[in-house]
Every structure is written in C-alpha cells, then in structure tokens.
Amino acid sequence: MERTVVGIDDTDSATRGMCTTYLAAVIAEHISSFATVEDRLLVRLNPEVEHKTRGNAALALHVETDEPKRVKETVVEAVEENAVFDDEKTNPGVAFLRGEPSDALAQYTREAVREYKTQEEARRIADENGVLVRGWKNGRGVIGATAAVGASRAFDDWTYELLVYRGEEEWGEQRRVSWDTFFDAHNETFPRTWDTVDEEKGEVVAVPAAPGPVVYGLRGTFGGVWDANAHVEIEEAERLAIYRTNQGTDAHLVDARACEVEDGGSYRVEGTVAEAPETREGGHVFFAVEGETGACLRCAAFEPTGRFRDTVRRLREGDRVVVCGSVSDRTLKVEKMRVVSLVRTERVKPTCCGRRMESAGRGQGYRCRNPDCDKTAETLVEESVEREIEERWYEVPPSARRHLSMPLVRLRRSPRHETV
Ligand code: ATP
C-alpha cells in the first residue's frame, strides 16, 4: 500500500449549489470501496482572492492504496460528473501526489494562504515536486488543488469541522432543522466548539443561508464537534463528513509594520490610534493606526461586524492596539484587536468657580470666567478620563468571523500568542 494525496478545488457555484467539501465527501465514499481514506483536509486559502466563490476552500484526501491509477480515475470522473461547468466562475482543478508532500510544496501552500498565486507558478511547483495536475476550463483550480496537496505539511495547528449534507433534491429548499438543538450543542460543548451560535443575538451560525448541500457545519476540536453533533436534531441528512482544517488558526496572518502592509495580504499590526474612530455612511467605522515609522494604516470595522463596532468606537487617539485582518483598498478590515494600552489621562483647561477656565490670550495661560474671580493658571492640567474599554482582546461576533480567523476562545489557550 502506498500514499496518494488528492487535491480538489473550484468545482462549485455560488448560485447553483454544489460545494467542493461535498464533492470531496462523495469522492471519498467512492474511493473507500477499494482503498482507505486516511485523512480529509479542508484547507482555507487566501481570503482576499477575488475570484473565490465563498470561503476559498480547497480539499485534500490522503489515501492508502495499491491502485493509485484507479484513485485518479475516480476523482476525474466525479469532478466531470458533478462540477458546475456551466458557471462561468467555476474552473475545476485536481492534483495528485504519490507519497508525502515536500518542504517546497508545504511552503507553496503557506504562501497560497497569504499571497496571490498564478497558475503558472502552481504548475511549476507541482512539476518540481512530483504533483500531477489537471485543470478544466481556464484551469485556475490547479492553484488551490496543488496547495491542498501540500497542506498536511504546511501547518502545525489544526481544528475540525463536521459537516452534514442533504441530497441534491433538497438543495435550494428551506433547511428543516431544530434550531434550539444548536444552542444545546453549544451549551454542552463550548469552548471545545465555537461559532455554532451567536449567544448575544440568539442566532444559529452553524446553518448557512446558501442554497447548496450543507445543512450545517460544527467547528471545534475533534472530540468537541462529535459531542456537539450528538445534540443536533434535523429531519434529513444524506451524509456526514469530518475534516481536519486550518480554519480558526490565523494561518493567514503575517506580523507586519503599518508601512509594510499591501493589498491582498492579511496582517497583525501594532500601532497607536492616530485618527479617532468615525462612523460613516452605511454604519462602517473607520480609524487609523500609526506605526513606528510614522506610516498610517486605515482600519475599518464594517457594518456586518455588528456590536464589535461599539467597541471600536470607544478607541481614542493615543491608544495602543494590535489590529488583525486582511487589507484591500489600503484598508485593514479588523477581525480582532488587542487593546495594549489606553490613554488614561488628558490635558484640559483647569476648572475654577465650577467651570473650565478660558484662554487668556495666546501664550498667556488661562483665566477664570467668573468676572468676580481673578484666578489664573499658566498651563493645562492632567485629568483622568473614564474609559469604557479595557486592555484585552476583542473580536467580531461569530456571524462575522472569517474562516481562517482564530476565535479568542482558542487564542487564549494558544502558546503562540501573548494572552489577554
Ligand atoms: P467554496 O468555499 O464554496 O468551495 P471557494 O470560495 O473555495 O468556494 P473557489 O470556487 O474554489 O472558491 O475559487 C477559488 C479559486 O481561487 C480557485 O480557482 C483557486 O485555485 C484559486 N486560488 C486559491 N488560492 C489562491 C491564491 N492564493 N492565489 C490565486 N488564486 C487562488
């Protein structure tokens, strides 16, 4: 028996159903009739790639087999039968590797999460690292399929997603699920699972709105998602798949200075609030952070981030923060932020006779406004300011979370991050 790693990407359509995770589950079932599927990976790639359908997912199956040729034929046949070829944006790709991925391939995978890759580069890397690729239509899917093949060696932090699917006749229909049971699942298994529900809003997050095959997806540790699933009740399910995934790991974030960030990348940047938050049309909140070199980075908490914007609005000029998120249009879309230190005092005019003094003229200090009082002061005084925000991490609500973004419930336990 030997190992064959299969990568699959870009088979689905935003409007006509299908989902590459579903197709991978179907393919895994076919392969299981003659070989052993040892591992299933759901790999999230660069979230800023503009031609993605939804979450820029690519899939990998690790197969132990004596019949690698049959594995290939099974995959190609399933893609040809199921991919949504008549969607202009669907350009499937598959990749096959005999044996384990090389370091160079793993490096390519990490870059595909953080950078933009061309099809030429994907094909070159594949060629140099023993990966056979096949693309359909414009062939773009080989970029993600190649990255999926290198994923098992690319990351050292993994979470799990358990997905339950419905049959094709149900796609586009209302999902018949018992909504309350998702709250039970959450209550019984959080923090081993996360993003099942939004407790504050009382909403279920695990059930997507898209018309496709996914009924729900549970995210967490391996044991957590199984335990949570035991609580969920739904009317009909066709199949279940559990994937090891780089979701919720911050694999996309690169530590950078404000002057280094570029459109299309995702970063963790420390700086000082240089422009206080301002709410603009549509409810989006903007502020600016200044790095050591004096470069300013515009940051945004967009309307869908909901109550996270209330936190952002409480920032003041001079506060020290770490902001995490992807950059487009020279703006970092904040996924989470650490308040490192807060401005606790401000310089204000002194008070006299119950009111703030007024300026006595340029360079002449301040005088009391009461005509019967002749008190004066030379300088401003320091006064403490009430802050409604604390020195700790804050994050967007579960409904606004990006797939790769590490929820705080994980971050607190991660040795790679300074705790709150
Ligand atoms: P879903 O999550 O619903 O399966 P999707 O959001 O994954 O859909 P795809 O339809 O797979 O979107 O489209 C993403 C496309 O972008 C694929 O063709 C993939 O090869 C390509 N791609 C992935 N990562 C990169 C990258 N870093 N640079 C350039 N192209 C990429």
Residue 419, pLDDT score: 41
**Positive or negative torsion for Cα 56, 406, 217, 402:** negative
Residue 414, pLDDT score: 64
- 243 and 163 Cβ atoms separated by less than 8 Å: yes
Ligand 1 centroid – CA 179 distance (Å): 31
Mean pLDDT across 316-321:
98
Ligand 1 centroid – CA 50 distance (Å): 9
DSSP 340-382: EE---EEEEPPEETTEE-EE-STTS-EE-S-TT---EESS-EE
Helices (H), 39-67: none
Sheet holding 131-135, edge to edge: 131-135, 93-98, 2-9, 57-65, 36-44, 239-245, 159-165, 214-220, 193-194
Residue 358: both structure tokens together: 């007024």
Ligand 1 centroid – CA 53 distance (Å): 7
Q: What does DSSP assign to residue 48? A: T
pLDDT band at 346 (very low <50, low <70, confident <90, very high): very high
Q: Rounded distance, CA 125 to CA 149, Å?
A: 11
- 141 and 9 Cβ atoms separated by less than 8 Å: yes
Per-residue pLDDT for 417 more than 70? no
Pocket test for ligand 1, best of 13, 18, 19, 45 (most atoms within 8 A of CB): 45
Residue nearest to atom 3 of ligand 1 (CA): 54
pLDDT band at 29 (very low <50, low <70, confident <90, very high): very high
Per-residue pLDDT for 102 more than 80? yes
Mean pLDDT across 343-371:
95
Residue nearest to atom 17 of ligand 1 (CA): 141
Mean pLDDT across 265-274:
97
- 305 and 337 Cβ atoms separated by less than 8 Å: no
**Structure confidence by residue, pLDDT tens digits, 223-236:** 999 999 999 999 88
Q: Is the CB of 110 under 6 A from ligand 1?
A: no
Phi-psi category of residue 241: left, alpha or beta, with phi > 0 → left and psi -120 to 50 → alpha: beta
Secondary structure (3-state) at 209: coil
Q: Rounded distance, CA 246 to CA 156, Å?
A: 9
Q: Rounded distance, CA 8 to CA 135, Å?
A: 10
Element (H, E) at 110: helix 103-114
Q: Is the CB of 318 under 6 A from ligand 1?
A: no
Quick one: how far is CA 92 from the chain centroid? Answer: 23
Q: Is the CB of 83 under 6 A from ligand 1?
A: no
| Residue 321, strand partner residues | 271, 339
Ligand 1 centroid – CA 51 distance (Å): 7
- 91 and 72 Cβ atoms separated by less than 8 Å: no
pLDDT band at 376 (very low <50, low <70, confident <90, very high): very high
DSSP 265-283: -EEEEEEEEEEEEEE-GGG
**Which residue type does 329 have?**
D
Q: Is the CB of 112 under 6 A from ligand 1?
A: yes
DSSP 161-181: EEEEE--GGGTTSPP-B-HHH
pLDDT band at 222 (very low <50, low <70, confident <90, very high): very high
Residue 284: both structure tokens together: 């989006």
Pairing assessment for the beta strands 57-65 and 2-9 based on DSSP bridges: antiparallel
Q: Rounded distance, CA 110 to CA 128, Å?
A: 17
Pairing assessment for the beta strands 296-301 and 285-290 based on DSSP bridges: antiparallel
Per-residue pLDDT for 356 more than 70? yes
If one counts every other C-beta atom within 10 angstroms of the C-beta of residue 63, the result is 26
Ligand 1 centroid – CA 121 distance (Å): 15
Residue 415, pLDDT score: 55
Ligand 1 centroid – CA 354 distance (Å): 64
Residue 76: both structure tokens together: 């190609």
Quick one: how far is CA 94 from the chain centroid? Answer: 24
Mean pLDDT across 9-15:
85
Q: Please provide the distance, in angstroms rounded to a whole number, between the alpha carbons at the two ends of the chain.
A: 48
Mean pLDDT across 312-317:
98
Q: Kindly report which listed range (38-42, 160-164, 410-414) carries the lowest average pLDDT score.
A: 410-414
Q: What does DSSP assign to residue 197? A: E
pLDDT band at 187 (very low <50, low <70, confident <90, very high): very high
**Positive or negative torsion for Cα 16, 22, 24, 28:** negative
Domains of the chain: 2-153 (3.30.70.2200), 159-245 (3.90.600.20), 254-343+387-403 (2.40.50.1010), 345-384 (no CATH)
**Which residue type does 291 have?**
G
Per-residue pLDDT for 420 more than 90? no
